[in-house]
Amino acid sequence: MLKKIFKYVFFTIITFIVLVGIYMLSERILSRISVNENQTSETKNITIYVMSNGVHTDLVLPIKNEYLDWSTLFSFENTLGKSSRFKFIAIGWGDKGFYLNTPEWKDLKVSTALVAAIGIGETALHVTYYNNIQIDDLTKKIEISENQYLSLIKYIENSISFGSNHKPQLIETTAQYGQNDAFYEANRSYSIFFTCNTWANDALKTSGIKASKWVAFDKGILFQHQ
């Protein structure tokens, strides 16, 4: 009996290791395959950024231009600082439990990780305002066209969970990362196959902007815009 249990545990562990290996290898290969590499001939007069903190990717957009004033969706009043003197808005999507309950990796609970991994938890949008964006290894500048930007707007709007007042639903929380950010309810489910970085990559991909075939981590997105 003990021998059978040991054999079962052994094969379970081996199977898990193999599946993780397949997942990691697939991500590595697909994240290096480019889509939308042959860019549109349209004039690229809008600057956006892809910003990573080393794990999670945000899309950074101009606060306001002739196409949209993002503050009409995500009010400055919803931040702790309530300042409106910003030039850029960073928008990220992810698991709500991660966002609100895991300010640092040391705070990560097994239950939070499992809920996120299997896609049964709720999701949120994290909105942060900036005055300046510095280009570095984790922040990439991208020039896009009007039509690409309009597609990007549509993708982000489709990710917002609007309330009965037709406004994004603010998440009342004390989990803000600073004075200039806020959280909102989001659509879609997070899983190991559709992560925060998958969301950002798909935003670029569906908007006709150079992106990866598929990513789970931030490195593939950054690789496409070296």
- pLDDT of res. 9: 75
CA-based diameter of the chain, in Å?
72
| 207 neighbors 43 (Cβ within 8 angstroms) | no
Span 194-220, pLDDT tens digits: 999 999 999 999 999 999 999 999 999
- pLDDT of res. 216: 95
- pLDDT of res. 109: 63
- pLDDT of res. 5: 74
Span 55-80, pLDDT tens digits: 899 999 999 999 999 999 999 999 99
Residue 7 reports pLDDT greater than 80: no
Span 17-56, pLDDT tens digits: 988 899 899 999 999 999 998 776 788 999 999 999 998 9
- Model confidence, pTM: 0.91
**Mean pLDDT score of the chain:** 90
14: pLDDT confidence band, cut at 50, 70 and 90?
confident
Measure the CA–CA gap between 175 and 112, rounded to whole angstroms. 15
User: Which stretch of DSSP H or E encloses residue 183?
Assistant: strand 181-185
Burial 52-73 (b: 16+ CB within 10 A, else e): beeebbbbbbbbeeeebebbeb
Residue 172 reports pLDDT greater than 90: yes
Span 102-159, pLDDT tens digits: 755 556 565 666 666 666 678 999 999 999 999 999 999 999 999 999 999 999 999 9
